[in-house]
Amino acid sequence: MAVSDEIGALTRAFSGLGIDEKSLISILGKWHPEQRNSFRKGTRNFFIEDERQFERWDDRHIIQLEREFLRFKNAMLLWTMHPWERDARLAKEALYKGPQYGVLIEIACTRSSEELLGARRAYHSLFERSIEEEVASRVGGIERKLLVALLSSYRYEGPRVNEEIAKTEAKTLCNAIKNAGKKPAIEEEEVLRILTTRSKLHIKAVYKHYKEISGKYLDQDLDAELGLKETVQCLCLPQTYFSKVLDDALKTSVDEITKETVTRVIVTRADADMKQIKEEYHQKYGATLSKKIEDVANGNYREFLLTLVARGDQ
C-alpha cells in the first residue's frame, strides 16, 4: 500500500466513534521515520506548524483521540459494573457535565422501582450524598422539582389501573397543556403529581385517554416542554425515546456529550429492551441499528457495541 493510501486509511481509522486499532498497528508499526514525516505533512487537519516552524499535533485532536481511545475501555467498565453502581455513576456524570437532564429522567423513568432505589443507595455509598440532595443543589429553574420528584419516586408496579381516574387525569393534563401559555405545565402541581407518582401502567392508560380526548399523543403536545416530553416517553414509550437519542448520537459532527449517549444506551439496554429499540429504530429511520453502528464506529469499540446489540436477538 502506498503511503498516500496508508494516510487515507489512518485518517479513516481516526474518524468516527472509537479507533480502528488493527489499522494503526498494521500501518504505523512498520513505518520508518520518513513515512511518519510524510504522515505529518499529509494530514494538516491533525498537525500544525507554529511560528517557529515547529511541527506538532494540534492539541484539539490530541484530546479528541484520547477520548476515542477511551471509548472501548469506558464501555467495558460500564458493562461490568453492578447496574446500581452504573446508574449512580451515570447520574453523577450527568449532574457535573451539563447538567444533562435527559440522563437523569432516563434513569428515573426506565428503571423499575427496585432498580431506582438501588441506584439511589449506590449513589449515597459512592459519593456520601443523596442523589436528591445533589439534584436540588445543582439544578436550578423549573426542572428542579420535576427531577427531584422523579428520582425520589417508588412507583406501584402491580397490574391494577383505575380507568376512570386515568381518564380524569388525562383531562387534567390536557387542560394544563392548553393553558401552558399562561403557566408552563411543568409548574402545575397536578401534572407533577401524576407523572412522578403514578405507576407506569396507569400513565400508559392516561396516555391512551389523552389521545381520545385531544386527538394527539401526549408526548407530541409536549414538544415545547422537553423535560415532560422525555418523562412521558421514558415511562410509556422507552423504545421511541432510546431510538431517537441513538440516532442523534450516531450522526456525524455531534458534540462529545452526545457521542457518549451511544455507550450509555447500548450498555444499559442490552439486557432490557434492545430488541424493541432495534425494531423501532429500523421502522423509524429505515436502517438497522447494527448497520448504522458499522458505518459510524471503529475497531474494538464497534465490535463490542455490535455484540451487545445482538443480545437483543437471543
Distance CA 260, CA 243 (A): 15
Average the pLDDT over 288-301 and give the result: 96
Q: Is 255 helix (H, G, I), strand (E, B) or coil?
A: coil
Backbone angles phi, psi at 17, to 5 degrees: -95, 130
Q: Within a domain: residue 117?
A: yes
Which DSSP symbol is given to 97? S
Query: For residue 49, what are the β-bridge partners?
Result: 55
DSSP H helices, 198-273, are 200-214, 218-221, 226-236, 238-249, 256-269
Residues 179 and 260 in one domain: no
Q: Within a domain: residue 81?
A: no
Distance CA 175, CA 37 (A): 68
Grid coordinates standing for 97?
Answer: 457535565
Range in 46-55, 198-207, 266-275 the model is least confident about: 46-55
How large is the C-alpha radius of gyration of the chain? 23
Range in 20-29, 204-213, 298-307 the model is least confident about: 20-29
Distances 114 to 30, 145, 153, 188 between C-alpha atoms, Å: 54, 22, 10, 28
Question: CB count, 10 Å around CB of 70?
Answer: 14
Residues 96 and 197 in one domain: yes
Residues 110 and 216 in one domain: yes
Residues 144 and 261 in one domain: no
Residues 136 and 230 in one domain: yes
The CATH number for 195's domain is 1.10.220.10
Residues 108 and 42 in one domain: no
Q: Within a domain: residue 74?
A: no
Last residue of a domain, one of 237, 255, 279: 237
Residues 248 and 214 in one domain: no
Average the pLDDT over 76-90 and give the result: 97
What confidence score (pLDDT) does residue 18 get? 94
Residues 226 and 94 in one domain: yes
Average pLDDT, the chain: 93
- For the cut 60, the answer to whether the pLDDT of residue 189 exceeds it is yes
- For the cut 90, the answer to whether the pLDDT of residue 9 exceeds it is no
What confidence score (pLDDT) does residue 44 get? 65
Grid coordinates standing for 155?
Answer: 412507583
- For the cut 70, the answer to whether the pLDDT of residue 217 exceeds it is yes
What confidence score (pLDDT) does residue 290 get? 97
Q: How many domains does the chain have?
A: 3
Q: Within a domain: residue 253?
A: yes
Which DSSP symbol is given to 49? E
Q: Within a domain: residue 78?
A: no
Last residue of a domain, one of 237, 268, 302: 237
Average the pLDDT over 229-245 and give the result: 98
Residues 99 and 219 in one domain: yes
- For the cut 60, the answer to whether the pLDDT of residue 135 exceeds it is yes
- Determine if the pTM surpasses 0.85: yes
List pLDDT tens digits, range 11-34: 788 788 999 999 888 888 888 787
Q: Which amino acid is at 17?
A: L
What confidence score (pLDDT) does residue 313 get? 78
Average the pLDDT over 7-13 and give the result: 79
For 302, left (φ over 0), alpha (ψ -120 to 50), or beta?
alpha
Residues 267 and 292 in one domain: yes
Residues 219 and 169 in one domain: yes
Residue span of the structural domain in which 10 resides: 3-57
What confidence score (pLDDT) does residue 35 get? 78
Q: Is 253 helix (H, G, I), strand (E, B) or coil?
A: coil
Confidence at 4, pLDDT banded by 50, 70, 90: low
List pLDDT tens digits, range 23-66: 888 888 888 787 777 777 767 678 787 777 687 878 888 888 89
Of 137, 124, 150, 126, which Cα lies nearest the Cα of 95?
A: 137
Residue % of the chain over a pLDDT of 90: 77
Grid coordinates standing for 190?
Answer: 397536578
To 10 degrees, the CA torsion angle through 5, 10, 13, 15?
-100
- For the cut 80, the answer to whether the pLDDT of residue 160 exceeds it is yes
CB-side exposure of 286: number of CA atoms within 13 Å? 0
What confidence score (pLDDT) does residue 8 get? 78
Strand duo 47-49 + 55-57: pairing? antiparallel
Q: Is 48 helix (H, G, I), strand (E, B) or coil?
A: strand
Q: Within a domain: residue 62?
A: no
List pLDDT tens digits, range 92-106: 999 998 789 999 999
Maximum alpha-carbon separation in the chain: 78
Distance CA 123, CA 137 (A): 15
Last residue of a domain, one of 182, 211, 237: 237
Q: Cβ(268)–Cβ(234) under 8 Å?
A: no
Q: Within a domain: residue 63?
A: no
Q: Within a domain: residue 259?
A: yes
- For the cut 60, the answer to whether the pLDDT of residue 1 exceeds it is no
Residues 173 and 257 in one domain: no
- For the cut 70, the answer to whether the pLDDT of residue 136 exceeds it is yes
